[in-house]
Structure 1
Amino acid sequence: MTPEIALQLFGEAFYLTVSMVVVIVGPSLMVGLVVSTFQAATQINEQTLSFLPRLLVTLATIMMTGPWLVQRLSDLFTSLMMKIPEIIG
């Protein structure tokens, strides 16, 4: 295995990981920002008020994007399996 192939494989896996994290965590961050703004405006300092909406949005995001995320992981795994002769030889 050459360093170029190793870096290419690492880059593909890293890009997939970052895109999966952004898809899952991004909506949660947006909801957290809205809830924090609401809490600052009303001066309500309740920790559970910010936790529950973020949890529900994260779970809903995973449910909606789950098939797409699994397909992307499956595609990466399949491409890695197909590249085994190139990596070895």
Structure 2
Amino acid sequence: MTSETVISIAEQGIMAVLIVCGPLLLLALVVGLIVSIFQATTQIQEQTLAFVPKIVAVLVGIVVFGPWMLNYMVSYTSDILSNLTRYIG
């Protein structure tokens, strides 16, 4: 296995992680921003107020994006495992 192959496999793995985690991270970012704006306008400085909406939003995001994320990861894993003999040999 050449160094180019290893770098290519690592690049595909990093891209898969970013693609799968991206929607949930973006959702948490947007909800956190909305909660922060709400806290700034109402001057409520409760620390736990920021966590509960983010957790709920991420759980809803997992329900919504879960099948797509699972399908993407299964296809990526299937691709890696089907080409395993090419990578090793």
Q: Same fold (TM over 0.5)?
A: yes
Sequence identity (%): 31
Two-structure CA RMSD over aligned residues (Å): 1.0
Instruction: State the alpha-carbon separation in 2 of the partners of residues 5 and 34 from structure 1.
Output: 43
Hey, what does 1:71 align to over in structure 2? 71
Amino acid corresponding to residue 65 of structure 1 in structure 2? F
Hey, what does 1:52 align to over in structure 2? 52
Where in structure 1 do 4 or more consecutive aligned residues deviate above 6 Å? none
Instruction: State the alpha-carbon separation in 1 of the partners of residues 16 and 88 from structure 2.
Output: 23
> How far is 1:48 from its partner?
2.1
Give unpaired runs (5+ residues) of structure 1.
Answer: none
- 1:24-35 aligned within 5 A: 24-35=24-35
User: Is the Cα contact below 8 Å between 2:20 and 2:72 reproduced in 1?
Assistant: no
The TM-score with structure 2 as length reference comes to 0.92
Amino acid corresponding to residue 34 of structure 1 in structure 2? I
Instruction: State the alpha-carbon separation in 2 of the partners of residues 10 and 88 from structure 1.
Output: 15
